[in-house]
C-alpha cells in the first residue's frame, strides 16, 4: 500500500529517532498524542518546550506570568528584541508555531499557584517544573503527587544545575520534598537575584525535555536520581535519592498532606 505524502513526511521528519532501538512509529505517535504541562517560560522552559515540540509533542499547556525583558535574551533563546514586553508564553507560542506549525500550545499568562494548579495539571500526563522559586517547586511537587502525575524538575543558578524526576507511581523514589525539605526561614529569591551562566540553564532545560520524553515512552526510568551539573568544571554527578518515610507530601497513600 502506497504511503501518503503526510505519512512520508511524518516518517522522514522523525527518521533519526526511528533509527534508535528504543523508538518505533508507535513511539512517535505516542508523543503526538501526549499532553504536557510546562510551568515556566524562562531559561529552562524555552529549550524544554522547543525540544518537546520538535520531537513530536503536539499538545503543550504552557504557563508563565512574565513578559519578555531584555535581560532574558541571553538565556531564553527563542525570544528576540521584537518580543520585549510581550507575555513570554505568547511570544513562545508564536515562535514554536513557526517552527512546528502543527503544535497546539495553550499559552496561559498567569502565575501557577495553589488556586489553579489542579486545573492546570488536569488532563496532562507529565509536568515540567521550569520555575525559579523554591516555594513554587514545592507546590508543583505536592499537586503532582496528589494527581499522580510524573514531574521533571529543573533548576539552575550560577554555574550549577540540578535535575530530578519524580514518579508518584514509584514506591521507593523520592519526591522533591523528600530531598529538599521546606524551611520557613529560607529567603526565596528568583533567579534574577543571582548570576547565571546561560549555557547551564539551557543544558538543564534540554535534559528536562529528554527525561519527559523518556518517561512518556517508559525508556530507562530515572526517577530517584538527582543529577548535579557543574558548568564550570564541566562535570556531572548523580545521587540516588530514596523516599523519606516521614515526608509530609508523599509518605502517606493519598499524598494530601501539606
pLDDT tens figures, 137-155: 999 999 999 999 999 999 9
pLDDT at residue 43 in the model: 97
- Among the four given CATH numbers 3.40.50.970, 3.90.330.10, 3.40.50.720, 2.40.110.10, the one describing domain 23-240: 3.40.50.720
Which three-class secondary structure state does DSSP give residue 12? helix
pLDDT at residue 170 in the model: 86
Which three-class secondary structure state does DSSP give residue 99? helix
Of 238, 244, 170, nearest to 207 by C-alpha is 238
Write out pLDDT tens, residues 171-186.
888 999 999 987 765 5
Of 186, 184, 152, 189, nearest to 168 by C-alpha is 152
pLDDT at residue 181 in the model: 85
Pinpoint the alpha helices (H) of 175-244.
176-179, 198-217
pLDDT at residue 1 in the model: 44
Edge to edge, the sheet with strand 235-240 lists 104-108, 59-63, 35-39, 126-129, 151-157, 160-166, 225-230, 235-240
- The question of whether 191 is a catalytic residue gets the answer yes
Which three-class secondary structure state does DSSP give residue 168? coil
Q: Using the predicted structure, report yes or no on whether residue 40 has a pLDDT greater than 80.
A: yes
Q: What is the DSSP string of 172-193?
A: SB--HHHHS---TT-----GGG
Please name the helix (run of DSSP H) or strand (run of DSSP E) that holds residue 28, with its range, or none: helix 25-33
Ramachandran region, residue 224 (left: φ > 0; alpha: ψ -120 to 50; beta: rest): left
With 0-12 / 13-18 / 19 or more C-beta atoms within 10 angstroms meaning exposed / middle / buried, residue 232 is exposed
Catalytic pick among 46, 191, 247, 250: 191
pLDDT band of residue 254 (cuts 50, 70, 90) is: very low
* Alpha carbons 218 and 60: distance in angstroms, whole number: 19
pLDDT band of residue 253 (cuts 50, 70, 90) is: very low
Question: What is the C-alpha R_g of the chain?
Answer: 18
Of 126, 163, 121, 124, nearest to 139 by C-alpha is 121
pLDDT at residue 61 in the model: 98
Q: Residue with C-alpha cell 525508556?
A: 219
pLDDT, mean over the chain: 91
pTM of the full structure:
0.92
Amino acid at each position: 500500500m502506497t504511503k501518503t505524502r503526510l505519512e512520508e513526511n511524518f516518517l522522514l521528519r522523525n527518521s533519526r529517532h526511528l533509527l534508535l532501538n528504543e523508538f518505533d512509529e508507535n513511539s512517535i505517535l505516542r508523543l503526538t498524542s501526549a499532553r504536557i504541562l510546562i510551568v515556566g517560560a524562562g531559561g529552562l522552559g524555552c529549550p524544554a518546550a522547543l525540544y518537546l515540540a520538535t520531537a513530536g509533542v503536539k499538545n503543550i499547556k504552557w504557563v508563565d506570568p512574565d513578559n519578555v525583558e531584555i535581560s532574558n535574551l541571553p538565556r531564553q533563546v527563542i525570544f528576540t528584541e521584537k518580543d520585549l514586553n510581550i507575555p513570554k508564553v505568547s511570544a513562545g507560542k508564536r515562535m514554536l508555531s513557526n517552527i512546528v506549525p502543527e503544535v497546539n500550545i495553550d499559552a496561559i499568562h498567569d502565575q501557577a499557584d495553589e488556586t489553579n494548579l489542579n486545573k492546570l495539571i488536569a488532563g496532562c500526563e507529565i509536568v515540567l517544573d521550569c520555575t525559579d522559586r523554591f516555594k513554587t517547586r514545592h507546590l508543583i511537587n505536592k499537586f503532582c503527587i496528589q494527581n499522580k502525575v510524573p514531574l521533571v524538575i529543573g533548576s539552575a543558578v550560577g554555574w550549577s544545575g540540578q535535575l530530578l524526576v519524580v514518579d508518584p507511581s514509584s514506591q521507593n523514589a523520592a519526591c522533591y520534598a523528600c530531598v529538599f525539605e521546606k524551611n520557613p526561614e529560607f529567603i526565596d529569591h528568583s533567579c534574577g537575584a543571582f548570576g547565571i551562566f546561560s549555557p547551564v540553564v539551557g543544558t538543564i532545560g534540554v535534559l528536562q525535555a529528554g527525561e519527559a520524553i523518556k518517561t512518556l515512552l517508559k525508556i530507562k526510568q530515572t526517577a530517584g536520581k538527582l543529577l548535579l551539573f557543574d558548568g564550570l568544571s564541566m562535570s556531572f554527578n548523580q545521587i540516588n535519592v530514596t523516599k523519606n518515610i516521614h515526608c509530609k507530601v508523599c509518605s502517606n497513600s493519598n499524598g494530601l498532606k501539606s
